[in-house]
Structure 1
Amino acid sequence: MTTIYLVRHGQASFGKTNYDELSENGEAQAKLLGQYFKNLFTEQPYIISGSMKRHQQTTQISLEQCFPQASYKTDCLWNEFNHQQVFALYEPKFSQPEVLKQDVFKEVDPRAYLAQIFDKAIARWADEAFHHEYDESWMTFQTRIEQALQNLCTELADKQGSEVVVFTSGGVISVVIGKLLELSVQRTFALSWSIANTSITTLKLVNGELQLLSLNEHQFIKSQQPDLLTWL
């Protein structure tokens, strides 16, 4: 059996012009993740990272804690979709990230409000009538992630008993789980709201078939520094 650990990146910079950078919280989360990995793995796993800055930072900071000399493979197929464009094409004023942040945090329940916006923005993105407006349509994104997953399974075919860590994003992990559980688009992206930063989703690969072992493990943060738990 080969075990695949899908890791969501640490908290990024929500509401800033450059979202694609870890916040201080995100850096602290990545350190805790690395310390957890130090206890989890007896040998260095095979490591893959998306090419986005938040993926690379999470990878590097966590590896400093457990396998400081480790090398890893960068694969842009594991990158997140352009959520800022998805928000902006749903509501033009959200093309300014700081406006979205202001709108969200003036609400009594910011998380619920953002979820409402996100659901509507995703519904528009997934609507075939609007596919041509996006740099990457929903169908293209879904196909890319499924290809990344297939490429990994093919690569691991001759590595039985190995362990693999993939540093990626919540939307990517949701698509993987959605494929395995045959979820609708809406249910697939509903998962995004439960996937904590630096949480771990575990799959097993047996005889070429993937199975879900666990989803959104984040007890290693909750038990150590619960104030670091974030979902945005």
Structure 2
Amino acid sequence: MTTIYLVRHGQASFGAESYDKLSPNGEQQAIVLGHYFNDILKEAPLVVAASMQRHQQTAHLCLDESFPESEIITDSAWNEFNHQQVFSRYEPRFNEPHLLKADVVKHANPRAYLSKIFEGAIERWTGGDFHHDYDESWPDFKNRVETALANLCGQLAESKPRYAVVFTSGGVISVAVGKILGLSPEKTFALNWAIANASMTTLRLVGNEPQLLSLNEHHFIKTVDSNLLTWI
């Protein structure tokens, strides 16, 4: 029976010209995750990573601390949706990441403010009236992630490794969990907002069907240094 670990990437560079790069804090989160994998995994896992820079960086930093000889299978089907485009279609000035960051940091509760923007942008993206307005619509993204999960489960059912690790993003993990639990888009993306950087969501493969064992495990980061724990 295969255990699948869906890993959100470490903290990226929010508000920078390129979000798609780990922050120093994100690099440390990936290293802590690698130490944890070294403790809990009894043999090398099958490893899949999305193709974005933050996914690849997280995978390499993590595996350097645990299973440095593991091959990383790169699969862009596990990439995150274009969050910058989703934000900017909701509010055009947010096409400039530094403007979004400036708005967020000046608020007394930055996380609550960003959450409000996120909810509005996601509601527009998933609502059905504006699918034509995005390079990848919500139905297309949902179908891509669900297909990636089904394909992985089919492959694992045949090869039967003890462990598989997928380095991906919060939106992808939320859609995968939403598929398993039959969640609405609203409840799916409520999960997305709660998934911590470098956290693990654990699935168990029964036949070729995934079952949810745990969601958003991040205690291993908190026990090392609670200041490392981030969600943005």
TM-score w.r.t. the length of structure 1 is: 0.98
What residue is the counterpart of 2:14 in the other structure? 14
What residue is the counterpart of 1:114 in the other structure? 114
Instruction: State the alpha-carbon separation in 1 of the partners of residues 64 and 210 from structure 2.
Output: 30
Return closer, same or farther for 1:25/1:173 CA change in 2, 3 Å cut-off: same
* CA-based RMSD: 0.8
What residue is the counterpart of 2:145 in the other structure? 145
Amino acid at match of 2:17: T
User: Deviations 1:179-232 (Å, cap 9, x if unpaired)?
Assistant: 111111111001112100000000001122211000000111000111100000
User: Deviations 1:81-136 (Å, cap 9, x if unpaired)?
Assistant: 00000000000010000100111111111111111110100011112221111000
Runs of 4+, deviation exceeding 6 Å:
none
Structure 1 segments unaligned to the other structure (5+ residues): none
Contact 2:79–2:172 (8 Å) recurs in 1: yes
Report the CA distance between 1:161 and its aligned residue: 5.4
- What secondary structure, in the 3-state scheme, does the structure 2 residue paired with 1:205 have? strand
Report the CA distance between 1:174 and its aligned residue: 0.3
- What secondary structure, in the 3-state scheme, does the structure 1 residue paired with 2:158 have? coil
Contact 1:2–1:159 (8 Å) recurs in 2: no
Instruction: State the alpha-carbon separation in 2 of the partners of residues 183 and 113 from structure 1.
Output: 25
Report the CA distance between 1:69 and its aligned residue: 1.9
- What secondary structure, in the 3-state scheme, does the structure 2 residue paired with 1:203 have? strand
- 1:119-198 to structure 2, matched below 5 A, reads 119-160=119-160, 162-198=162-198
User: Deviations 1:145-179 (Å, cap 9, x if unpaired)?
Assistant: 00100110110112335210000000000001111
Report the CA distance between 1:3 and its aligned residue: 0.6
- 1:1-232 to structure 2, matched below 5 A, reads 1-160=1-160, 162-232=162-232
Instruction: State the alpha-carbon separation in 2 of the partners of residues 207 and 38 from structure 1.
Output: 27
Moved more, 95-104 or 159-168: 159-168
Aligned length in residues: 232
- What secondary structure, in the 3-state scheme, does the structure 2 residue paired with 1:157 have? helix
